[in-house]
Each structure stands twice: as structure tokens, then as C-alpha cells.
Structure 1
Amino acid sequence: MTLEDLLRLLHVLGATVLFGTGAGIAFFLVMAERTRDPHIIAAVSGIVVIADTVFTATAVVLQPLTGYGLASIIGWPLGEGWIVLSLALYVFVGLFWLPVVWIQIRLRDLAKQAAVNKAPIPPAFDRLYRIWFAFGFPAFFAVIAIFWLMLTKPEIRLF
């Protein structure tokens, strides 16, 4: 296995982890929220926070490193249109992901508090949940666009 092969493998695995963990987190948190049971929501959102920390954060760091390594080895200029657009979309996704991490922590804490107090899910939870839910869509479609750019490498003239 060459260094290029290894970097490609790590880059694809990282992209898979980012997409798969994001989709999985979204599915499980949506399903938990639908129960309206603070105990279930607290447990699931606790796991979601751990998964985002362990898997997503690791992949977020490795993706640009493996991408840079690949571009260097293959000889793709970093100013190539599809690379610049991919990086811009990556930053765009990050701008949605960072607040989502904070929101997930708050959702977990609000659900835990409701469970401990034997109270219903508070209105603050619902407001944050709607923001969390809405932030998922642009990030999800931006990641799909990045996949498309990486696979097709279209000729894009930016300037």
C-alpha cells in the first residue's frame, strides 16, 4: 500500500464517518425527541454528545490533513476550483456543526434536569431542538455536495 493509497483510504473513511455519524446522530435524536420522555431523551442525547466528540470531531480534524496530503502527492493545486469549493463548503458545514454541538449539550442537560425533576420537557428544549433540526439540513446537503465534488472533480473557474 502506497502513501497515496493510505491517504485515500483515510480520507474516504473520514468522509464516511462524518456523514454516517451525522445521519445516525440525527436519526437517534429525532426518534428520542418524538417520545417526549425526558429519560429517553437524556440518555440518547448523552450518547449523541459522546459520538460527536469521539467520531465527528476526530474526522473533522483528519479530513483536511488527509485531503492536503492527497493533493500534495497527486499534484492537485489547492487553488483548483473544486478543491476551493469543497473547502468552502467544509467551513460552511463547520459553521453549522459547532453551534449544533453546543445545542446537543444543552438538550442533554435540559432533558436530564426534566428527568430528575420528574417534569415535562421544557419550552427551552423545544426552541433549541427546532434550531438543531433546522441546522441539519444545510449541513447535510453541503456534505453531499462535497462528496459530489470529490468524486467528479469538475472544472470550476472561480475567478
Structure 2
Amino acid sequence: MDFVLVKFVHLVGVVLFLGNIIVSAVWKNAADRTKNPAIIAFSCRLIKITDLAFTASGVLLIAIGGLGMYHVGRIDLVARVNLQSGIFLFIISAVIWILGLIPLQRRMARVSHSAATHNELTLPDTYYRAARLWNFLGAIAVILPIITLWLMLHP
């Protein structure tokens, strides 16, 4: 297997992953500003779909490409503190997604869908509390992979 090919796979994964997590935050916050339950429910549903399509596939390509570069390039991880740190931060970001963001997204989707289905004009405070926590955890979960990208690019 060619190093350039696995590096390309890795970078495509990075673009899909980072692009989607940043765009999802923009979409969701724009939808939240409308305070319209139907628009918010639509946004939450699209975020679930794009997370599966782009974030998850991005993570998969990042892992395949990273492992491929490790094996093909015979990279010594013990000697590369930047790679160790980047991998650690990426894992921390994944834990934040799995334990925090995904459950919050599901809760917000349920609440907004219920409000939209019942033609309610406002969302309950529980939605906005979850949204604030989602924004806080999401900011951390975006910043960590950006730092990871920086660490991966610098020896």
C-alpha cells in the first residue's frame, strides 16, 4: 500500500469530520435563534443524519488512514509526542461526543419534534438547557480535533 494513498484517505476523513462538526454547530445555532420548534426539529434531524453520514465516516477514514500511515510509514509513535498527544485529544473528543453530545442531541431532537408535532409555538426550558450544554461540550469537542490537526502537522 502506498503512503500517499493512506495519507489521502486520512485527510479526506479529516475534511469530512471537521467540516461536518463545524457546520452542524452553525446549523443548530442558526435554527435555535429562530425559536421555531419546526425549524429546530428539522435541524436536529439533519444533524443526526449528517453525523452518521459524514462525522462517522470521517472518523472511520481517519482511523484507516492513520493506521495505514503508521504501518506503511513505519512511524515510531514512542518518539512522536505530537502524534501521541493528537491521538489522545482525538479520543477525548470522541468520549465527549459519545457520552455528552449524542445523548443531548437525541434529547433535543425528541423535545423539538414533540413540540413541532403538537404545533407548539415555543420549546420548553429543558430544550434550551440541553442546547447550552451541547454548545459548551460541542465547543470543546471541536477545539480538541483542531488542536489535534495542528499537532499532526508539526513534528
User: Which residue in the other structure is 1:143 paired with?
Assistant: 145
User: Which residue in the other structure is 1:13 paired with?
Assistant: 12
* Matches of 2:82 and 2:8, distance apart in 1: 20
Within a 5 Å distance, the mapping from 1:77-116 to structure 2 comes to 77-79=76-78, 80-98=80-98, 99-116=100-117
* Contact persistence 1:97–1:139 (CA under 8 A): yes
Within a 5 Å distance, the mapping from 1:3-152 to structure 2 comes to 3-79=2-78, 80-98=80-98, 99-119=100-120, 120-152=122-154
Residues paired across the two proteins, number: 152
* Matches of 1:128 and 1:26, distance apart in 2: 14
Query: Which string of whole-angstrom CA distances, capped at 9 and with x for unpartnered residues, describes residues 68-91 of structure 1?
Result: 110211121122211211110011
Q: Secondary structure at the match of 2:77?
A: coil
Q: Secondary structure at the match of 1:27?
A: helix
* Contact persistence 1:52–1:101 (CA under 8 A): no
5+ long unaligned stretches in structure 1 = 154-159
Cα RMSD for the two superposed structures: 1.2
Which amino acid counterpart does residue 87 of structure 2 have in structure 1? Answer: L
* Matches of 2:103 and 2:55, distance apart in 1: 14
Q: Percent of aligned positions with the same letter in both sequences?
A: 26
Q: What is the deviation of 1:21?
A: 0.2
User: Which residue in the other structure is 1:156 paired with?
Assistant: none
Q: What's the TM-score, normalizing by structure 1?
A: 0.90
